[in-house]
Amino acid sequence: MHRKLRMGQIGGSLDAFIGAVHRRAAGFDNEIELVCGVFSQSPEKSKATGHALYLPENRVYDSFEQMILQEKELPEGERMDFVSIVTPNHMHFPPAKMALENGFHVICDKPMTLNLQQAKDLAQLVKQSGLVFGLTHNYTGYPMVKEARDMIKNGKLGKLRKVVVEYPQGWLSRAEENNDYKQAIWRTDPAKSGAAGAMGDIGTHAENLAEYVTGLKITELCADLTTFVPGRQLDDDGNVLLRFEGGAKGVLHASQISNGEENALKLYVYGELGGLEWHQMEPNTLYYKTQEGQRLIRTNVGEMSPSAKAHLRMPAGHPEGFFEAFANIYRNFAFAVKAHMEGREADSLYDFPSVEDGIRGLAFIDTVLASNVSEQKWVKFVE
Amino acid sequence: MHRKLRMGQIGGSLDAFIGAVHRRAAGFDNEIELVCGVFSQSPEKSKATGHALYLPENRVYDSFEQMILQEKELPEGERMDFVSIVTPNHMHFPPAKMALENGFHVICDKPMTLNLQQAKDLAQLVKQSGLVFGLTHNYTGYPMVKEARDMIKNGKLGKLRKVVVEYPQGWLSRAEENNDYKQAIWRTDPAKSGAAGAMGDIGTHAENLAEYVTGLKITELCADLTTFVPGRQLDDDGNVLLRFEGGAKGVLHASQISNGEENALKLYVYGELGGLEWHQMEPNTLYYKTQEGQRLIRTNVGEMSPSAKAHLRMPAGHPEGFFEAFANIYRNFAFAVKAHMEGREADSLYDFPSVEDGIRGLAFIDTVLASNVSEQKWVKFVE
Amino acid sequence: MHRKLRMGQIGGSLDAFIGAVHRRAAGFDNEIELVCGVFSQSPEKSKATGHALYLPENRVYDSFEQMILQEKELPEGERMDFVSIVTPNHMHFPPAKMALENGFHVICDKPMTLNLQQAKDLAQLVKQSGLVFGLTHNYTGYPMVKEARDMIKNGKLGKLRKVVVEYPQGWLSRAEENNDYKQAIWRTDPAKSGAAGAMGDIGTHAENLAEYVTGLKITELCADLTTFVPGRQLDDDGNVLLRFEGGAKGVLHASQISNGEENALKLYVYGELGGLEWHQMEPNTLYYKTQEGQRLIRTNVGEMSPSAKAHLRMPAGHPEGFFEAFANIYRNFAFAVKAHMEGREADSLYDFPSVEDGIRGLAFIDTVLASNVSEQKWVKFVE
Amino acid sequence: MHRKLRMGQIGGSLDAFIGAVHRRAAGFDNEIELVCGVFSQSPEKSKATGHALYLPENRVYDSFEQMILQEKELPEGERMDFVSIVTPNHMHFPPAKMALENGFHVICDKPMTLNLQQAKDLAQLVKQSGLVFGLTHNYTGYPMVKEARDMIKNGKLGKLRKVVVEYPQGWLSRAEENNDYKQAIWRTDPAKSGAAGAMGDIGTHAENLAEYVTGLKITELCADLTTFVPGRQLDDDGNVLLRFEGGAKGVLHASQISNGEENALKLYVYGELGGLEWHQMEPNTLYYKTQEGQRLIRTNVGEMSPSAKAHLRMPAGHPEGFFEAFANIYRNFAFAVKAHMEGREADSLYDFPSVEDGIRGLAFIDTVLASNVSEQKWVKFVE
């Protein structure tokens, strides 16, 4: 099969932030083209977005149901190959389910669903369908995150002891949801966002990153969540003690009221032999520390793991950022879809977050919420 | 005119580095699509590249002459609208000239031409044709560079006194041109690269950045160029004293033998009221210093100039990098081409380097080379 | 009274690390001179140290009891004015008690005593004696820590919401206590160090810094301590959830097995109006962040609080470090001793940690230890 | 000889900045005690300073001549051993000369004298007297500067190619000399400061640091000096191209009008095998870069040179700063004086700037001034 994959997008109207991120990420490596979409629940907005994106009018739909059914009728090679779901959380599951049931691969924003039950149902559907499912936990797409994971897998840190993952943001320090700020409104509305606020929106990124890089699963945790902004319905800050399989301990804290912080996701991992540190806001450096000294591992300087190399596009010193990491998720997803179409196994070098990562995320949300109201110190992390 | 612009690329085969950068930058904002190309002087390589890019076979050409002539015959709306020239320097002028003469807009890598005379001839052709010409001095596409320029224009630094621009790289510390390293081979070959080495390849970026941000032109300079690697034909290091119109003084140094440096373009500007500092490798921060204190101006934090805002795509803390800055050049060029097609004046908010910048670059090369062999301290910068 | 204060030191033989720090700190501002000492439990070592320090032989003692009793017999103006206690923790209380009982002021290393009961007894003795007592929680001696505290006190951050204090070290990642490493041996020995390891040695610094800067007291906490190095008797890592009076939440984590970390004490405080960040290893910068932007507050740049200014000695850009901060504690203690001698009240601008800080530290240790073995989530912080 | 060395200070009254720096530096390692001084040309100020320093009245003098002659009459073991000269530049030579002629060792601030002739005369006097002379080019006292020098000496960088040394300050961006600002007044007065302004005050530090670390001497240079602040008599900014023995090239720029800069001395050295970078404002890190990667060499982390170790006092992560580096110069000078007194050769591990460094500094000033007014590109650097 020698052609670009065809993407249909659900959500992502012009005034949304993440829709355009997905579109740019999808198109970045010339492996995917947007061919259709339903960009808003408002048909007018959807049309306007499709027009601005130079889509033909007949490929801009009024509802995801319409899109899935009509696209299905188009001939192979014309119809979309997969859907990209970029709606608020409550609108992830319904289109994902229908797409899978109608034979379309799915890539979806996180958290994967509104609740854990949906997540498990979705996993079941993915399994039954045999189709490809990707989840945009985009931070695992950074080359230096791949490098960190590879170093740990290869024993550079020895047995792991401690993990600190922090994700402070400050943009919800005030009640922005009362200021007609779309991003704030749905994220603080439990009907759209789910049962958690900051913990769902960014805590799940932190959890995913920590588990991805360390290769260890959280086994129990102790959480203290707070809603600092008066009138807000969901947590806007949370501090969590972590315990990992194998005995490592850790801390996760995530916040949307850490005033003045931008998007400061950071990860620290320490083992018997050394430590690693990575900052999302300076993503092209990985700090590798031992008692003998400190190395800056920089993208495309010296030797790197095949995995890091496979997710880099530029020589050293030409900074790659958020879009490029996001594009790695889409490209890897596209490789897997192509492999599926061609009856091949996908190359594990080009990994991307899966439906299982999605289940972990929802289980994390459930566990921190349970812990938050528990008087017991530790709550088991159960999927 | 409601459609994407159609781009034909000259140069940029699969094993080239900058060709893919241009393609990703062009496609990034969904305003441009690649429709044809001649990607290599080898027809086989060109075909292989076109195939990998999913182009139809009949739009992959054997020579730029063939491409320009055959595309010209295609109906409007199918034929390419402009050419993107990403060949080594000696192959910039011939296709640019022919494209302009045949009615195609042109965007071209830097330095613009092999020598100053060609640059002037090209400027003449641009003027005569009335067509749009863009030059990919990509570093001026960064939002914080726009912000710096805006602050200076608005008097935040007062009258300027001192400018330091440095561009150290280390990748040519060894004779990589003997190691079958394509990037090194042509860059150190005067027939392909022009009369200057490091000064042409990156010194011109430094010169362009300094003049762009300060709004001041260099009036005279004193240069000391060196070829450190034995057997190399062109300079691989250069130190230059600068004098600007209005009395500001400065230093420019650029090097490809600054061992261990990646791509460390930095700019410092000081005026009567304050100073600014910007590092390409951490491009989302602009340091603004006065005797009262230091501010970090960060992309999308607090108030920014309209110009910076117009070149940003993400909220604070989501790092944008090299590709995004490059894409800004392409998008702005596309806006100008569209305006041209629609008979409108282009919006000056979306500026991009012009044929005049290209002349400055070649004049800079000539002036540093003249200064390097002069016993006089100062050599006038003459275009 | 116009003369330097006279210091007698207890502990701090030549092979100790902290003894020389105290001596340099004491002498730094020319307000204190070392006149006598008992530097080791070994009279030979004590003599050798006294000799190396150019002390007269008759002022180098064999025991603290001897020193206190004999110095007491010397005429005022010759005898020591105060003792500086720099022994391992278990040897803080006995000499402090005896010194106070014999009319000598005391400055002592932290944690103040071996356990909370001793701390309370010492506070009682201080109160009864009316003498000056100082505790070298040296990190509060940094000018930017003073500035942070002042900004918070003056409402620059608004009501506080979140505090993160972290203190990772890596020097005990291996069982250094088996390597004849004196610092490691006593710190991992409960008989000398007290009931806590990392939590006592550096966790108390973190607790003290957080409470000092915020002006808020911890009211309850939830701790998870670990001993990672096999055979070690005390915790070498700990993660703690914090709750403060007034509703602020927080995280404290301290570790001596964070491999490759040096002495990376960091503090982050967020309030309704902004946030602050300070790193001990780059102590001359305070990051002040709001949603409008980020300022670097630098020592002696622009306006600072009187408190920060009073703890600075150099113009901007001349880095002051660990010794200077430590010296601030000694100088301020000396000012208080002088005021006491002259019957004046001490100037509150020159503050230093007190016996109450010492009680908080020991209570912190007790509380984290209690929490660590509790199945209840929250344990009240009781002094 | 088992006692502290006795220092007499010339200059450094209470309102001077550098006098107290010298005193703290001298006393820091308990090897030197201040016993007498003439702190100001005003006997009242001198007395007030001596009083504040707890000196006996009879050891506070009215003139340096008086001090030298009267101290000379005191018995050995009571009289001062050496003088520390911390006056403005024009008052370095006379007391240094007289001290040497009367048998006192000398340590002196930089630049060493008012002009090159004095420097040569002083060197002659030092030679004739056989006494110890130290010059406080304090930046070479930093441990990481020692480490850099050692690495270069041991060939870690291979043959050197490029040196960049920059020293921007901003504190004279306005005419502070008109604001009753003592530091500014004498530094901008040729009668007190010498023929150069910024180039003398800080350019000489940059020159000294570059030559010290590289072990290479500047052979010729090309300078462009400017006086930006109207009415000022001396240069406040300068940019210089450098050529070193052995073929290395370089840039030196120093400025006191780089608005918003504090004291940002930085050094970059590149050789055939790697590069080094050091920042005075973060002095405990040395960046070591090769094409294989980048290491942060940190004070007391892992292996270091004996030279770096000999100039460190603290474990890793306890920042040492400006005072500690300054103290290294004094301590090493004291070791040399002791060795002299005891008829031993001084240990070369404890090196410090010499009268030859002083000559280089004055020759540098002469050369940049000559180059500045020359129309020839290169001016030889002649001592």
Q: What is the 3-state secondary structure (H, E, C) of chain C?
A: CCCCEEEEEECCCCCCCHHHHHHHHHHCCCCEEEEEEECCCCHHHHHHHHHHCCCCHHHECCCHHHHHHHHHHCCCCCCCCEEEECCCHHHCHHHHHHHHHCCCEEEECCCCCCCHHHHHHHHHHHHHHCCCEEECCHHHHCHHHHHHHHHHHCCCCCCEEEEEEEEECCCCCCCHHHCCCHHHHHHCCHHHHCCCCHHHHHHHHHHHHHHHHHCCCEEEEEEEEECCCCCCCCCCEEEEEEEEHHHCEEEEEEECCCCCCCCCCEEEEEECCCEEEEECCCCCEEEEEECCEEEEEECCCCCCCHHHHCCCCCCCCCCCCHHHHHHHHHHHHHHHHHHHHCCCCCCCCCCCCCHHHHHHHHHHHHHHHHHHHCCECCEECCC
Cross-strand partners of D50: none
Question: Tokens standing for A340?
Answer: 């599926």
Q: How far is CA D309 from CA C15, D42, D145, D303, in A?
A: 16, 42, 11, 9
Taking alpha carbons only, the member of C354, C41, C361 closest to residue C195 is C361
Q: How far apart are CA D58 and CA D50, in angstroms?
A: 10
How open is the CA angle B358-B359-B363, to the nearest 5 degrees? Answer: 120
Q: Does D262 contact C314 at a Cβ distance shorter than 8 Å?
A: no
Q: What is the pLDDT of residue A366?
A: 98
Q: Does C57 touch chain B (CB under 8 A)?
A: no
Q: Is the peptide bond preceding residue B190 cis, with omega within 30 degrees of 0? A: no
Express each pLDDT in C169-199 by its tens digit.
Answer: 999 999 999 998 888 999 999 999 999 999 9
Q: What is the pLDDT of residue C247?
A: 98
Express each pLDDT in D244-301 by its tens digit.
Answer: 999 999 999 999 999 999 999 999 999 999 999 999 999 999 999 999 999 999 999 9
The answer to whether C186 and C11 are in contact (CB under 8 A) is no
Q: Which subunits have 3 or more CB–CB pairs within 8 Å of chain C?
A: A, B, D
What average pLDDT does range D327-341 have in this prediction?
98
Express each pLDDT in C287-337 by its tens digit.
Answer: 999 999 999 999 999 999 999 999 999 999 999 999 999 999 999 999 999
Confidence of residue B180 (pLDDT cuts 50, 70, 90): confident
Set of chain C residues whose Cβ sits within 8 Å of the Cβ of B295: 293-296
Which of 198-217 (D) contact C at CB < 8 A? none
Facing D161 at nearest CB: one of B228, B243, B375: B228
Cross-strand partners of C254: C167, C238
* Residues A119, A124, A126, A128, Cα dihedral to 10°: -170
Question: Tokens standing for B189?
Answer: 């070959």
The CATH class of the A142-315+359-380 domain is: alpha beta
Q: Does C259 contact A157 at a Cβ distance shorter than 8 Å?
A: yes
Q: Tell me which residue has tokens 């500014």.
A: D184
Express each pLDDT in B188-205 by its tens digit.
Answer: 999 999 999 999 999 999
Per-domain residue ranges of chain B = 5-139+328-349, 141-314+359-380
What average pLDDT does range A89-117 have in this prediction?
97
Q: How far apart are CA D166 and CA D163, in angstroms?
A: 10
Q: Is residue C17's pLDDT more than 90?
A: no
Cross-strand partners of A266: A166, A279
Q: Does D302 touch chain A (CB under 8 A)?
A: yes
Q: Tell me which residue has tokens 């090493």.
A: D332
Express each pLDDT in A249-260 by its tens digit.
Answer: 999 999 999 999
Q: What is the pLDDT of residue D1?
A: 82
Contacts 24+ apart (CB under 8 A), B45-48: B45/B13, B45/B14, B45/B15, B46/B13, B48/B13, B48/B14
DSSP character string of A304-320: --HHHHTT--S-TTS--
Q: Is residue A180's pLDDT more than 90?
A: no
Cross-strand partners of B105: B82
**Strand pairing report for D160-168 and D218-226:** unpaired
What average pLDDT does range B131-139 have in this prediction?
98
SS3 (DSSP) at A125? helix
Q: Is the peptide bond preceding residue A94 cis, with omega within 30 degrees of 0? A: no
Taking alpha carbons only, the member of B258, B190, B201 closest to residue B228 is B258
Q: Does B260 touch chain D (CB under 8 A)?
A: yes
Q: How far apart are CA B300 and CA B296, in angstroms?
A: 12
What is the CATH number that goes with domain C142-314+359-380? Answer: 3.30.360.10
Taking alpha carbons only, the member of D110, D170, D176 closest to residue D355 is D110
Facing C321 at nearest CB: one of D17, D264, D324: D324
The answer to whether D204 and D230 are in contact (CB under 8 A) is no
Q: Kindly state the percentage of chain A with pLDDT values over 90.
A: 96
Q: What is the pLDDT of residue B58?
A: 97
Q: How far apart are CA A119 and CA D233, in angstroms?
A: 76
The answer to whether D251 and D241 are in contact (CB under 8 A) is yes
Facing A301 at nearest CB: one of D293, D296, D301: D293
CB-based burial label for D143 (10 Å; 0-12, 13-18, 19+): buried
Q: Does A258 contact C270 at a Cβ distance shorter than 8 Å?
A: yes
C43 sits in the region (left: phi over 0; alpha: psi -120 to 50; else beta) called alpha
Q: Taking CB atoms and an 8 Å cut-off, how many pairs form between chains C and D?
A: 106
Express each pLDDT in A17-70 by its tens digit.
Answer: 889 999 999 999 999 999 999 999 999 999 999 999 999 999 999 999 999 999
Q: What is the pLDDT of residue A77?
A: 83
Q: Taking CB atoms and an 8 Å cut-off, how many pairs form between chains B and D?
A: 139
Q: Does A260 contact C243 at a Cβ distance shorter than 8 Å?
A: no
End-to-end, the C-alpha distance of chain C in Å comes to 38
Q: Does D162 contact B257 at a Cβ distance shorter than 8 Å?
A: yes
Looking at domain B5-139+328-349, what is its CATH homologous superfamily? NAD(P)-binding Rossmann-like Domain (3.40.50.720)
Q: How far apart are CA A24 and CA D11, in angstroms?
A: 67
SS3 (DSSP) at B188? coil
Q: Does A315 touch chain D (CB under 8 A)?
A: no
SS3 (DSSP) at B273? coil
**Strand pairing report for C249-255 and B105-108:** unpaired
Q: Which residues of C199-236 are buried (b: 16+ CB within 10 A; e: fewer)?
A: bbbbbbbbbbbbbbbbebebbbbbbbbbbbbeebebbb
ipTM, interface predicted TM-score of the complex: 0.96
- With a CB cutoff of 8 Å and minimum separation 6, the contacts of A167 are A202, A203, A205, A206, A252, A253, A254, A255, A264, A265, A266
How open is the CA angle B71-B76-B79, to the nearest 5 degrees? Answer: 30
SS3 (DSSP) at D82? strand
| Side-chain-side CA neighbours of residue C323 (13 Å) | 28
Q: Is residue B16's pLDDT more than 90?
A: no
Set of chain A residues whose Cβ sits within 8 Å of the Cβ of D291: 301-302
Q: Is the peptide bond preceding residue B143 cis, with omega within 30 degrees of 0? A: no
Q: How far is CA A206 from CA A17, A143, C177, C242, in A?
A: 21, 17, 35, 20
Q: Kindly state the percentage of chain B with pLDDT values over 70.
A: 100
Confidence of residue C15 (pLDDT cuts 50, 70, 90): confident
φ and ψ of D28, to 5 deg: -60, -40
Q: What is the pLDDT of residue A143?
A: 98
Fold of the CATH domain D5-139+328-353: Rossmann fold (3.40.50)
Express each pLDDT in D340-355 by its tens digit.
Answer: 999 999 999 999 999 9
Kindly report the nearest CA distance between residue B228 and chain D, in angstroms: 7
C217 sits in the region (left: phi over 0; alpha: psi -120 to 50; else beta) called beta
D339 alpha-carbon distance from chain centroid: 22
Q: Does C303 contact B292 at a Cβ distance shorter than 8 Å?
A: yes
**Count of beta carbons in the 10 Å neighbourhood of residue B99:** 29
Q: Which CATH number fits domain A5-139+328-352: 1.10.287.980, 3.40.50.410, 3.30.540.10, 3.40.50.720?
A: 3.40.50.720
DSSP character string of A56-85: -GGGB-SSHHHHHHHHHHSPTTTS-SEEEE
Confidence of residue B15 (pLDDT cuts 50, 70, 90): confident
Q: Is residue C77's pLDDT more than 90?
A: no
Q: How large is the angle between the packed helices B355-372 and B116-129, nearest 10 degrees?
A: 170
Q: Is residue B3's pLDDT more than 90?
A: yes
What average pLDDT does range D351-378 have in this prediction?
98
Q: How far apart are CA A300 and CA A306, in angstroms?
A: 11
What average pLDDT does range C143-168 have in this prediction?
98
Mean of the per-residue pLDDT values for chain C? 97
Mean of the per-residue pLDDT values for chain D? 97
Q: Is the peptide bond preceding residue A111 cis, with omega within 30 degrees of 0? A: yes
What average pLDDT does range D124-131 have in this prediction?
98
Kindly report the nearest CA distance between residue C185 and chain A, in angstroms: 19
Question: Tokens standing for B286?
Answer: 């602009």
Q: How far apart are CA C353 and CA C195, in angstroms?
A: 22
Express each pLDDT in A162-177 by its tens digit.
Answer: 999 999 999 999 999 9
Confidence of residue C280 (pLDDT cuts 50, 70, 90): very high
Express each pLDDT in C85-134 by its tens digit.
Answer: 999 999 999 999 999 999 999 999 999 999 999 999 999 999 999 999 99
Taking alpha carbons only, the member of C88, C74, C72 closest to residue C12 is C88
Fold of the CATH domain B141-314+359-380: Dihydrodipicolinate Reductase; domain 2 (3.30.360)
CB-based burial label for C181 (10 Å; 0-12, 13-18, 19+): middle
SS3 (DSSP) at D90? helix
User: Scanning every residue of chain D, which has its alpha carbon at the shortest distance from the alpha carbon of B225?
Assistant: D249
